[in-house]
Amino acid sequence: MYKLDRYWHGLLHILFPQRCAGCDTVLIHQEHILCSTCLYHLPQTDHHKDTENETAKQLWGKVKFQYAASMLTLSKSSRVQRIIHQLKYDQQPEIGIYLGKMYGEILLENPIVDRVDVIVPIPIHSIKKRKRGYNQSEYFAIGLSEALNIPFDTTCLKRTVNSVSQTRKSRIDRYDNVENAFAFVPQTGGKQTPNHVLLVDDVITTGATIAAAAQQLIDGLGCTVSIVTIARA
Ligand SMILES: [Zn+2]
């Protein structure tokens, strides 16, 4: 039976070869999501070692938070950009789980994560979710949740505005556009109120979106918020 499984696995690999999310080369048997070259060259930020990192600085003055970090640096036309693009637009949510597990292992070194009660992904609007089929940040949260052994929650935050043409707006317009984009959803059924939420997103750019979502959690739950993203642009 085992031999037959291996046979089918091999055949499937020939018929539908798995490709690297970073460089599109065909993955070899032991590789998963990323080839060893892309894995080796991932531009890790090392934010977990530095509380005054660039992501934290980006959020200073926008919202009150305990700790903020991004896993990777995103530059134009880079492998990180390709990875994020496939996670978001190419029906590959498993990339999010993979990266979440990877970053979770790294974050275990940081004592802050011991204080986190729940992981909350930044929601996308229900219309976008229906169209895309999934929320990419939720899959990153699933991976983090597995590695850190902390539950995740997708019910306490809702996206109320479907922000579509962000790219055509100026920086200030964008800030206004996201300020009211989220709503806290009061919890029912005797759920315990968390003291410390780890809010997660795919990419931080201006920080306005994350700050708006974090503020809703702070106001709604009276909790401390820490923030983690896959990449910073
Ligand atoms: Zn690769």
CB 163 within 8 A of CB 178: yes
**Amino acid residing at 112:** I
206 CA → ligand 1 middle, Å = 28
79 C-alpha to ligand 1 centroid (Å):
8
CA–CA separation, 168 and 117 (whole Å): 38
**Averaged pLDDT, 17-45:** 94
Using the mean position of ligand 1's atoms as its centre, give its distance from the Cα of residue 69 in Å: 24
Percent of the chain at pLDDT exceeding 90: 74
**Distance between Cα 8 and ligand 1 center (Å):** 24
Q: Which amino acid is at 78?
A: S
Q: How far is the CA of 71 from the centre of ligand 1 (A)?
A: 18
Helix (H) or strand (E) holding 158: strand 157-159
pTM exceeds 0.95: no
* Position 175 pLDDT exceeds 60: no
Residue 34 CA to ligand 1 center (angstroms) comes to 5
What domains sit in the chain, N to C, each tagged with a CATH number?
1-41 (no CATH), 42-232 (3.40.50)
* Alpha carbon separation from 144 to 99, 121, 160, 218, 228 (Å, rounded): 8, 10, 25, 21, 10
Q: What is the pLDDT of residues 182-213, one digit of tens each?
A: 999 988 777 788 999 999 999 999 999 999 99
Q: How confident is the model at residue 174 (pLDDT cuts 50, 70, 90)?
A: low
Q: How many CB atoms sit inside 10 A of residue 100's CB?
A: 29
Q: What distance in angstroms lies between residue 74's CA and the mean position of ligand 1's atoms?
A: 16
The alpha carbon of 42 and the centre of ligand 1 are apart by a number of angstroms equal to: 10
Q: How far is the CA of 128 from the centre of ligand 1 (A)?
A: 29
Task: Grade residue 178 by pLDDT with cuts at 50, 70 and 90.
Answer: confident
pLDDT band with cut points at 50, 70 and 90 for residue 60 = very high
CB 123 within 8 A of CB 216: no
